[in-house]
Chains A and B, each alone.
Chain A
Amino acid sequence: MRRIHSSEIENAVYALTKEACLGLIPSCKAALERAADEEKGESAKFALDTLLQNAEIAKQENMAVCQDTGYAVVLAEIGQDVQIEGELFADAVNAGVRRAYEDFCFRKSICDPLTRVNTADNTPAAIHTELTAGDKIRLTFLPKGFGSENMSRIYMLTPAKGTEGVIDAIVETVRLAGSKPCPPVYVGVGIGGTFDGCALLAKKALTREVGSHNPRKDVAEIEERALKKINELGIGPQGFGGQTTAIGVSCEIAPTHIAGLPVAVNIQCHCVRCAKTTI
């Protein structure tokens, strides 16, 4: 049994929040650079060049790369041989979020859904914990913007819809989102599981590197075929028209019920931010 004090968790979340909100992950930046080279339309090119320039400014000036520093999503894999001492795990995570959003001038965007009164410190974080083997804690921090979250959808398809139905659901979600979620988007997809589990799979898919593929060949094929179809929609960067409507499609899969084929499509804007660490 390994003991980890809650203050270590708080400090790790603090550092991850800072790292994630200040810059794009390198695979996202590379995808935007490629798109800027390939796009021919003047407005599309202007949009992509502006985004790359913005990433440089954020780095130089130590500013949040996007003002929507998001809902703080924390995915935690906690080794079964770890004993957490001190505060509750969730309290430690929220303390790290609270301190980082204040210290680094990140926007506090969390509010009551009905009264719209802001919690003023960007808590609570959305925390998903999973028990794993070993004596370590693996933390992934994803600041999730809501312009893109708003455009996400869940489909409860019938099994008869099969692979083609899954691809259609992904492409339809991006088509309906149009210019609203800050294209070019990164598309996280959950296939299978339950209604709730499927959505979490889609969120997890967004923590993968842009351009990575699912190890299962048939799933990787869905990723490639869906991406190709999405980029034939013509929505383009910022909806100005063009061939880059998405920079990637990332699918995660889990067993489901004999009666169903859930598909969750979680849209991420082009500002893919994510940070990971192991304690």
Chain B
Amino acid sequence: MTRRQSIAPAFLLLLIVTAIISIGTGAVSISPREVVESLFGTGPKNHSFIIGEYRLPRVVLAMLAGAGLAVSGAILQGMIRNPLASPDVIGITKGAGLASAIVIFLFPKSPAYLLPLAAFGGAAVVAAILYVYTARKRVQPATLALVGIAIGVICQAGIQYLMVKNPGDVNAALLWMAGSLWGRGWEHVWAVLPWILVFLPIAYSLANRLDVLSLGDEVAEGLGEDVTRLRVVLLVTSVALAGACVAVVGSIGFVGLLSPHIARRLVGGKHALLLPVAALLGATLMVAADGLGRWLLPPMEVPVGIVTAVIGAPYFLYLIGREKRRGI
């Protein structure tokens, strides 16, 4: 096991520690020891209830969503060959946002399960438009990013239009769009889990081909890769992951942008290692941000998406600055 590979278990440990602390944080503070005892079913009854019904599903959901968004971002960055790409930057999250804004504002009486479905649909529509561009021969991946940005702008204008026309329900929509884990329970975990279980392994199985793609289209084709088809498969995988996560937790930014970056700095650019580490980091980041959001201004909760943005963006600037100095 090389030094780089030995980092992965270390991050698993970090994730577990973060999760235990996060589970203990909130209106009722629970010590890490009691958290562990409750998880094994030997803790005090009242705490076990709080943990089992409220805190644990939330933390599990944060892990799943963080991992999904991080891997989605890692795939996009590898495919577009630009470290600034991520599901939020290329419009996928905005598509989900527009669809859920339509549900929140135009069909306020619709049942609760419709919102995530609609969000996923919105992400899928944006993906379909992007697909039309990718499937065409010889499209530069950069063009894909620009098309995504333009779609994002249109979706944003649509969201603003709906918000201005329906001032009454604005706060619900804003909260959703900021991305929040508030009030999420086991049913949300079950909703997102299948997607993660299916598409994370698919992403992992594509890791070596992502490496080939990062050498450039000509080299990849020379090595016998059908570049256009590979891109489509990657796009679908990335969108499925991002769409499922965003549908359940709202448009959480910067996890998909930041996690692959940190992972790349720690373990290098080989996707077979990069993808799992990015997933662990994304999960850790999300769990930590959610815990922080609950702890910062009680009794108010800072939506997790805002915490990730406030922490993530300055760090991101710093990272880019370092990479610039090293001349990448």
Partners in one complex: no
Q: Which residues of A contact B (CB under 8 A)?
A: none
